[in-house]
Amino acid sequence: MIREAGIGISIAAAVFFAYQGYNILPFLLLITLIFAVSVLVEKRGTVSTGHAEIAASHKVEFDNIGGQEAAKRELMEALDFLRYRDKIKKLGIRPLKGILLTGPPGTGKTLMAKAAATYTDSVFVSASGSEFVEMYVGVGASRVRELFKKARTLAKKEGKDSAIIFIDEIDVVGGKRGGGQGHQEFDQTLNQLLTEMDGMQTTSNPLVLVVAATNRVDMLDPALLRPGRFDRQIKVDLPDKEGRLHILKIQTANKPLAEDVDLSAIAKETYGFSGAQLESLTNEAAILALREDASKIETRHLREAVDKVLLGEKTGKRPSAEELIRVSVHELGHAIASESVRPGSVAHITIAPRGNALGFVRQVPQHDSYLYTKDQLEGQMKVALAGAVAEELIFGNRSTGASNDFMQASNLARTLVSCGLSNLGIVDADNLQQKVLDEEIRRILADIEKQTFELLQPYIKGIDELSRTLVEEESMSGERFREWMKQQRNQSVVV
């Protein structure tokens, strides 16, 4: 409004001076320069909220989010103060000012923030932590002020009595102060955010709730986490098997599935997948079906999509015939050890190069595990070492392809020591002499390697034969591999 008035006055003055016979060209240039500077300053000091208005019209409900039942319940309970204000007021409850969503990437933190806005019928304004950080001191602080001001303005404009401000990757702007960063802008921006949250009135309209997300909660400044700012921390973790099944059902609701597709089996095979990875899996499966001009998504499309999400697209690497045989022997060693340690664990064997891997064995966890016994850890070490052991049994030597396997086995052996499951008993691995630790790890690995040789010894002839079949067919299902294992055991009994 002030700018428009200034423009009108300037035009009137220019007309007056022109009428008086003065040269108004320098005057016009000065006005143009002042106008351009004012526009730049306004753009620099204001948070872009074009995407915020779009988010407000894009409704996301909690029913659309799968695999996070506990987190959803906790968040909905925290949001009830926006929905049931009279009841909250009678009980003397102080409304929350901030909710912090923590967890790995891709678990649905942004979706939950949008669903919170839908659940409370609030205006939704979002920003990323990186939007507040500039090389110019004071710009970030002004953007924080504008963000809160914009949230209140939009709420009044749309006739709503609450607004939710969502700040993604808040660790960028809310990192610990005094860490030697030497950047005054970071501290000023954080200080302004703290001031805004302190000054938020929890009794006036519209109410403002700050929802933030991060996967690095350890980096946040303690002042940001204290009660009265971010009152609740809600863990949005990786989904369990039931959660993965729920997500798969949601993501395949608009996709034609073949009658033989068992989503519960796919959920079991995708241990450790986030919601974003599961969405990508169903999308990649649909793309694979499109490539084949298939009318429905079949189980093989979904299983190949699992491999693609885990390791990437098939590469153009073309190993030599000798390398392919060695890779197949290596992977069969892993598969035999896996089936011997835990029957039914092998889901798929392939020697098709994907990403940095020339081949791999995808295993199915029996169930989502959070604790491991000594036997289970030793079994995992056998599986890790079995590839190199199989190579040595067939070819009499090993290759560099087992380097990652050795690293995995070494880490598992270190876990045995640190958890008090080794011959050293209960120890503090961090304060243990390096020589003692190294000797114990070598002893554990040597013992497991010996057991792995004994495990694979009866399968030498079978591995040599099956490896050539695997080279021709490139992949093998877990069911077919288990049939082969059963035949090998029957032959050894007959002999």
- 223/340 Cα distance (integer angstroms): 53
Q: Residue 364, class by beta-carbon neighbours within 10 Å (0-12 exposed, 13-18 middle, 19+ buried)?
A: middle
Beta carbons of 392 and 385 less than 8 angstroms apart: no
**DSSP labels, 108-158:** SHHHHHHHHHHHHT-EEEEEEGGGG--SSTTHHHHHHHHHHHHHHHHHHHT
Structure tokens at 338: 């896996």
Q: Compute CA 126 distance to the chain's CA centroid, rounded to the nearest angstrom.
A: 19
DSSP 354: B
Q: Which of 50, 83, 338 is nearest to 207 (CA)?
A: 83
CA–CA dist 344, 158 (Å, integer):
57
Rounded Cα gap, residues 165 and 212, in angstroms: 8
Largest interatomic CA distance in the chain = 118
- Residue of 331, 339, 378, 440 marked catalytic: 331
Active site residue 331: yes
Order of all β-strands in the sheet with 346-350: 360-363, 346-350, 475-477
Contact between 364 and 345 (Cβ < 8 Å): yes
Residues marked active site are found at 331
